[in-house]
Amino acid sequence: MPAIHRTDLLVVGAGPAGYTAAIYAARASLKPILVTGLQPGGQLTITTDVENYPGFAAPIQGPWLMEQMREQAEHVGTQLVYDLIVRADLRNGPAPDGYFRLYGDSGDEFHARTIVIATGAQAKWLGLESEKRLQRGGVSACATCDGFFYRGKTVAVVGGGNTAVEEALYLTHHADKVHLIHRRDSLRAERILQERLFANPKIEIHWNRAVEAVLGHGEPEVVSGLFLKNTRNGETETLPVDGVFIAIGHSPNTGPFRSEVACDSDGYVVTEKGGTTTSVRGVFAAGDIQDRIFRQAVTAAGSGCMAALEAERYLSGIPAMTKT
């Protein structure tokens, strides 16, 4: 039997931003409800060693970190609901009773005075079976997260836009050699980034090359190279590398919110500069759903904190609603 869940603050998404927002909201006695979505824990659930999250001297496992956040959120009073929001009525503001309406895949309804959208983003992948198989063995979509593991090694970056060039440049601080693989004969990146790329002696560009497969060896299997195909003449070659970074963009998990709050051309939720307020009063966004630049667990957590604090301030400025 479908249920109606009513709360002062509803968090949608169970990554670092969502859990942090819930923790702060619960400590403010807002009795938040968090709807987990399809992948509780977000992208960190497919991340093995995490070395850059503050507070841990030794590497930690991404899934373990998210489990700790979940336990903390529940411990301070967050109610977790394992459901997926499939529809939201936000753009016209709350209903006459002061509550926004959201609808879960289960049939349940969620009525909330304020909402934090924290559904994250997903890296775009090439779609290769070998790429997916080796995501825990040397295939990554975040140089800032994983570049440290390739000190003194050889890596490849796949892509031709700003993200790919920035990742390649960043990786030169760790790796001895960086190969940039691009399926065309020119880059889409900004000119100043291209100039820096061309001037870096550690970077070698492979024009007109498409990745046909990621090669691996050993047990557990780790990346050993790339099988490349020339997009002009069809010739193939093998390129030995120790790690591969896919940098062809990210897709924000905007889902049912895309037509309800202002989003940019790529689907990222637009928030007020320096804050998490969206185009709809009482609706806030945190984490990768509104951050197309940093995309780090720690920045997501920070914006989750901001969203909860802004939501609390918003609620304190309006009279209490009479429950029906």
Which one-letter DSSP state was computed for residue 288?
A: G
- Amino acid at position 317, single letter: G
CA-based nearest residue to 159, from 135, 134, 189, 204: 189
The answer to whether the beta carbons of residues 123 and 146 sit under 8 Å apart is: no
Tokens found for residue 135: 């995501």
| Angle, alpha carbons 178-56-221 (nearest 5°) | 45
Dihedral angle over CA of 70, 19, 300, 126, nearest 10: 60
Catalytic residue among 83, 145, 288, 305: 145
Catalytic residue among 8, 83, 146, 242: 146
- Beta-bridge partners for 157: 180, 245
Q: Mark whether 83 is an active-site residue.
A: no
Catalytic residue among 49, 89, 108, 142: 142
Q: Mark whether 146 is an active-site residue.
A: yes
Tokens found for residue 301: 């957590």
Q: Mark whether 142 is an active-site residue.
A: yes
Which one-letter DSSP state was computed for residue 269?
A: B
The answer to whether the beta carbons of residues 263 and 254 sit under 8 Å apart is: yes
Catalytic annotation, residues: 142, 145-146
